[in-house]
Chain A
Amino acid sequence: KAGVTQTPRYLIKTRGQQVTLSCSPISGHRSVSWYQQTPGQGLQFLFEYFSETQRNKGNFPGRFSGRQFSNSRSEMNVSTLELGDSALYLCASKADSSYNEQFFGPGTRLTVL
């Protein structure tokens, strides 16, 4: 099975712009979670989508949003970018079970100038 893929791998934006990141989960996985990783805050949960519905949300401002499509692919969007949004954005997918065994993609490295 192919793993979780994320595009693009690297992105440079300027303050005030918006950005969209894409994640393709492992085939058959309907749950997709997004995380932000920074040196200061570590890995933080953004939100989780399942069957096109957001089921859980972390403590991030409304500038961070996401969606999921019928094929389980997911996108996250960050509007009005700030310097502090520079981070590695990771997505992870999991199978339908009660366990939290998540498979992570390689991440998108976002730099905001």
Chain B
Amino acid sequence: DAKTTQPTSMDCAEGRAANLPCNHSTISGNEYVYWYRQIHSQGPQYIIHGLKNNETNEMASLIITEDRKSSTLILPHATLRDTAVYYCIVSGNAGGTSYGKLTFGQGTILTVHP
């Protein structure tokens, strides 16, 4: 799985958009970008994933650059409950050495301030 690079920490004001960047310059053509978050003392929570098109769901939007070497997770209206560690993960389709495996980096600690 390709390696990802994320900022160690970010701050965001409540109600504003939180834009979390991720670099994955060695991503290969069949690898997806996944985002998970982990709120303190809980298990990680899936947020969104994408291959090359922008994706949106009820939680967030995922913008992937055309060359697929970087992506941005957007939380459109951050709340205090969005304070968490956010992990950007690159993973192939769940086959072979990717079966059930997510390779977590250190993630970005997002702190949402009142």
| Chain A residues engaging chain B, CB cutoff 8 angstroms | 4, 31-33, 35, 42-45, 48-50, 55-56, 58, 90, 92, 94, 97-107
Can you add 10 more A-B contacts, CB < 8 Å, to A106-B42, A107-B42?
A: A42-B104, A90-B44, A92-B102, A97-B94, A99-B32, A100-B49, A100-B101, A100-B102, A101-B34, A103-B46
Give the B interface residue count (CB, 8 A).
24
Chain A residues with Cβ under 8 A from B93's Cβ? 98-100
Query: Which one of B46, B95, B100 has the highest number of Cβ atoms from chain A below 10 Å of its Cβ?
Result: B100
Interface 1/0 per residue, B10-43 and A, CB below 8 Å: 0000000000000000000000101000000011
Closest to B95 in A: A98
Contact A94 B100 (CB under 8 A): yes
Contact B104 A102 (CB under 8 A): no
B71 within 8 A of A: no
Known: A50-B100, A56-B101. A94 touches B94 (CB 8 A): yes
Contact B101 A99 (CB under 8 A): no
Q: How far, in Å, is A53 (CB) from chain B's closest CB? A: 10
Chain B residues with Cβ under 8 A from A49's Cβ? 100
B45 within 8 A of A: yes
Q: How far, in Å, is A75 (CB) from chain B's closest CB? A: 16
Contact A100 B34 (CB under 8 A): yes
Docked complex: B61-114 residues within 8 A CB-CB of A: 87, 89, 91, 93-95, 97-106
Q: How far, in Å, is A94 (CB) from chain B's closest CB? A: 7
Contact A33 B100 (CB under 8 A): yes
Contact B102 A99 (CB under 8 A): no
Contact of A56 among B44, B97, B104 (CB under 8 A): B97
Closest to B34 in A: A100
Contact B44 A99 (CB under 8 A): no
